[in-house]
A and B are shown apart, each in its own frame.
Chain A
Amino acid sequence: MKKLFINITLLITLGIFFYGCDTPAPTELVIDNNTTTEDQVDVEIITKDTQDEFYSNGFDSTGVARRLHNFGSVIVVTGAKISHRKSTVRFSLAEAAFFNRKKPVMDRNGNVVGFHTVLPGVVKFNGRKAKVIPLKVRFKNGSVKVDTTLGPMYIVFSGRLNSVNPFGYNFRSNIIFKLIPAVGSARSFLIPTPEEITGKVTFTGHRADKSLKAVLRWNKSRGQKIEIVLGAVVKGKNISFPLYRLKTRDDGKLIVPSRLLNTIPFERFDKIIFSFVRRLEFNNGSGSNRLKVLSQSIHTIIIDIP
């Protein structure tokens, strides 16, 4: 009798092992507004080739101060500051470019690299008349680097290099944009500006043992997300590469994924740049009059890598 029970038990046990061992159903957790996880971030590579200085941005590592992307007609107004060690330099920039989408510029493979620009009239920011300068772009035509001019664009700049024509970028305020066409009536609207962003980087660890850790803090705002561009400066040169674009909630703190820092080839780079970008983005007008408007506060911090 006892043997029978032992056999039955073994049989049931083997049967259950064979037929019935699922993995328990997992519980799906949802990230919500209360989540304090510090690495909620979207990461995007900006520069794919860090060997080629073609992709560098000179001093403006962010690549956003002059972000005339997609070559749609665009207005970009920027209040920026750059901190390195104990000094901070401020500047303001307002740009406007109007593209003629019927006149594309193509490389030799037939890819559109841009559109020629037009000057629809006089542009004023806060009543100050914008200068007209050429809009230059660089692109690779096969293995040949090509510098070309797409046409004129409008610009108002004040700060480091030019304080002659001061352009006041007031935060949490408005900038008056006005376009006075050669023919027809003037077009004017307000461009709101975001709260000024002021970042702080706490940098610990050492590149030698790949223990670098960067905790970014900034004055949080009610905005949905901010953008942080992580770049690196080539050793001995004033050339920087924007490497990654990090988008995260405007909640005041981000621990940079350590892998992004510690995989940077420090034999080539000796500085890291963090650009905090708080941006308002909207469209003005519709149809052929549609303008993409970007209004942004940028704080760029340059860190000497320990």
Chain B
Amino acid sequence: MKILFSIIIFITLVFSSVVFSQSSFGLGGIWSMNKTANTLLNSIESNPSNFSKLKDWGIELSYGGEFAKTTTTNLYLLSLSKRIGHSNFSLRYTPGYQKDFVFSSGESVTFNDSSTQTLNSKFSYKEIFGFGYSYQVTDKLSFGFTARLFNQEFNNEVVDPVFSDSLFFNLKTETEKADFWKADFGINFSPVENISLSVASINLIDINSKTDIASNSAYEIRRPKGALLGASISPIKQISFNFLYETTQSFMAGIDGKFDLPAGSIGFSATLLHDKYQSPYIAGILPAISYQSDVFGITLSGVKYFRNKNTTQSFSVFEKEGIRNILNNRYSYDKAVLTITFRLNTIAEEKAKILNIKMVQEIFPALEDNYLDKPFALGKIVNKTDNKIRIKPSSKIVGFNSDIIYSPTVLINAHDTVEVPFYTIVSDTYSNKQSKVSYADFYISTRNNETDDKLQKPILINKINAWDGKVIHLKEFIKKDQYYIMKYAKEVLSNNKSKLDTIVYSLSAFYKAKILFNNLVKKFVYVADPNATSDFVQFPKQTIDLRGGDCDDLSVLYSAVLESVGIQTALIDYKPDKGLGHVNLLFNTELSPQRAIWITDNDSKYFIRKNKRGEDQVWIAIETTSLTNFMKAWELGTEKFNNDAINKLGLAKGRVEIIDVQ
């Protein structure tokens, strides 16, 4: 930014002392850079740096009329543009960029037959051909150059005296020609989305390629050097204010707007021009209206001068000031131009771009359901087109996903930036027991089988038993090993069938839970988490196999066992002030409050909660780490719950949370 500013100051200082006129005048009006890129491909005059956002091939044709005493029509411009990578090439042929002057040379001759003839002159100025190249360094910065070939032809009628038998005059036309190239360099810079800045030279390189002028050099196009400074500001997305300033003497100021339609967009532009060599102060206006779709564009533009049209054009003024611009000078007539643009895109167009990806959670393979409704990453995606697009985000975590995982499609308005969630799926077969750092590839596409943009970010994949410490996520562990646990529980209950058969049905849930707990504790010991953290949780089968575990392992196991035989459970999350918390559980005895007395006459040992059907039922708390017997575990669980959840108002304060497993 400092460098750019320095360049602008330098060029301004170098060229501010010279005087020149409207060099940046183009027939298509002035548009903000972003819209120019889509509206007019080869407006070299106002875009010396050849800035373009063309995707591939572009063809443009400008045809119009000039309203002098009679209306003449001209093919003003035919151009071809091509983008290759970051480079943009343009070529244009300008047969209609021509200005002719006719006048009496001031010399008249009287022939021998006494007839008198005034000698006339015709001066023609043409821009023949132009080409440009630009390189897009980044989305914000582009630089390039344009070069144009001009031709000047001066035809003067002259008489040659002939001394033969008699002295007489021979009338003939003498022609002098001069061609020259002029080239300019420029930079376009968009520091922020709604501001575009440009700086370019005017007549920086001026090379006479063919000069055959002896007596008409005073009438050549004046080409003083200068600088062009441009700025476009968009206070709102649809509207831009544009300003082009040519060092000290000329400027153009205008507004343009663009509004999306279902199949394209429609834009307008109006620009006022001030030129030192034209009067009045605001010499004219350039209105333009344009319709653009992806492949086709049509722009109707023109220039209307405010000067008095009846003013006789004086040769003395022409002789003194000359002209500095073929299209726009004090002698120019009003014009109307129709520009047709075709964009032929043979390469996949990047309609959307990933600006950034933010990883919002690590991968805990055990928490598989967690990633179905909660994204593991959020991407900032921008719509680069002028239309509303539908993007399909997807991702693949290397070494974790076997296939690309597609997330829901998202609609993005033209040039909008939105936050897009990326979801993933945990494979059933994933069983890596070690954490590792891998990479996630993120893709966005607007079409089938073609990716608009992709980005890779590192991601931590935790080991299979890793847990994020959130008790609610223990439910994911409880769901594992369902078949094994169901088999285990049914075997235990089957072994106690005779006992269970004697119990009234209403107490079966209570007694099943009691039998299952007592069966487990016979074999188990409490083992604290070997990592001394809360990030490791055993799956139920692992706890059975290992014959022990800590509070979360045992709560997971006991909950899994009870759930497998249809007994509702809920985890009790005792949140710590600091350090590790504690987990045990509640289960539903399926007894109504009136029948609670069947299991205890101490009403502080049970709690009334609603079951899935909304009926009040008796739940009891079990301290799963109490590996003595069911009654003791019940007692300890009750004591802990009453103390922390009720007496200390843990439930009310959120320090204790009950999380239903189902």
Binding site for B on A (CB under 8 A): 1-2, 5-6, 8-9, 12-13, 16-17, 20-37, 39-45, 47-51, 243-244, 257, 259-260, 263-265
Q: Which of B72, B73, B104 contacts A31 (CB 8 A)?
A: B104
Residues of A within 8 A of B340 (CB): 9, 12
Q: Which of A2, A20, A28 contacts B74 (CB 8 A)?
A: A20
Q: Please, what's the 1-or-0 string for B85-126, where 1 marks a CB less than 8 Å from any CB in chain A?
A: 000000000011011111111111111100010000010000
Known: A16-B63, A16-B75, A257-B107. A23 touches B100 (CB 8 A): yes
Residues of A near B315 (CB, < 8 A) are: 29-32, 35, 37
In the bound assembly, the distance between CA atoms of A23 and B110 in angstroms comes to 32
In B60-93, the 8 Å CB interface with A consists of: 61, 63, 66, 68-70, 72-75, 78
Chain B nearest Cβ from A69, distance in angstroms: 14
Name the A residues within 8 Å of B346 (CB-CB): 2
Shortest distance from the beta carbon of A103 to any chain B beta carbon, whole Å: 26
Residue among A16, A34, A264 making CB contact with B316, cutoff 8 Å: A34
Query: Among A24, A35, A49, which residue has its beta carbon within 8 angstroms of that of B72?
Result: A24
Known pairs A23-B100, A24-B66, A29-B315; list 17 more (Cβ under 8 Å): A20-B75, A21-B95, A26-B101, A26-B122, A27-B313, A30-B103, A30-B315, A34-B316, A37-B319, A40-B106, A41-B108, A45-B167, A45-B168, A48-B168, A50-B163, A257-B158, A263-B162
Given contacts A259-B161, A265-B163, contact A25 B70 (CB under 8 A): yes
Specify which chain B residues have a CB less than 8 angstroms from the CB of A29 in the assembled complex.
101-103, 313-315, 318
Do B98 and A23 touch across chains, with their CB atoms under 8 A apart?
A: yes
Q: Report A-chain residues with C-beta under 8 Å of the C-beta of B169.
A: 43, 45
Nearest CB in chain A to that of B114: its residue: A44
B159 CB-CB contact with A under 8 Å? yes
Nearest B residue to A50 by beta-carbon distance? B167
Q: Is B344 interfacial (CB 8 A cutoff)?
A: yes
CA distance A265 to B162 in the complex (A): 10
Q: Does B59 contact A (CB under 8 A)?
A: yes
List the count of A-B residue pairs having beta carbons below 8 Å apart. 160
Q: Would A49 and B70 count as touching, CB distance under 8 A? A: no
Contact indicator B167/A24 (Cβ below 8 Å):
no
Q: Which residues of B contact A1 (CB under 8 A)?
A: 295
Q: Assess A27 versus B99: contact at CB under 8 Å? Given A45-B112, A50-B167, A259-B161.
A: yes
**How many B residues, CB 8 Å from partner?**
59
The 8 Å CB contact of A28, one of B165, B167, B313, is B313
User: What would 18 A/B residue contacts be, using CB atoms closer than 8 Å?
Assistant: A5-B344, A16-B63, A20-B63, A20-B74, A20-B75, A23-B100, A27-B331, A28-B313, A29-B315, A30-B313, A37-B319, A39-B107, A42-B107, A42-B110, A48-B112, A259-B158, A260-B161, A264-B163
Q: Are A51 and B122 in contact (CB under 8 A)?
A: no
- Nearest 6 A/B pairs, CB to CB: A40-B106, A25-B68, A34-B316, A26-B100, A29-B103, A44-B110
B160 contacts chain A at the CB level, 8 A cutoff = yes
Tell me which residues across on chain B come within 8 A of A21, comparing CB atoms. 73-75, 95-96
In the bound complex, residues from chain B placing their C-beta under 8 Å from that of A27 are 68, 99-102, 313, 331
Rounded to whole Å, the gap between the CB of B29 and the closest CB of chain A is: 20
Nearest-CB residue, chain A, relative to B295: A5
Q: How far in angstroms is the closest Cβ of chain A from B571?
A: 61
Contact of A22 with B74 in the complex, beta carbons under 8 Å: yes
Determine the chain A residues whose CB is within 8 A of the CB of B103 once the complex forms: 28-31
At the interface, yes or no: B296 with Cβ under 8 Å from chain A? yes
CB distance from B630 to the nearest CB of A (A): 77
Contact A24/B313 with A5-B342, A44-B109, A47-B167 known, Cβ cut-off 8 Å: no
Interface 0/1 of B507-541, CB less than 8 Å to A: 00000000000000000000000000000000000
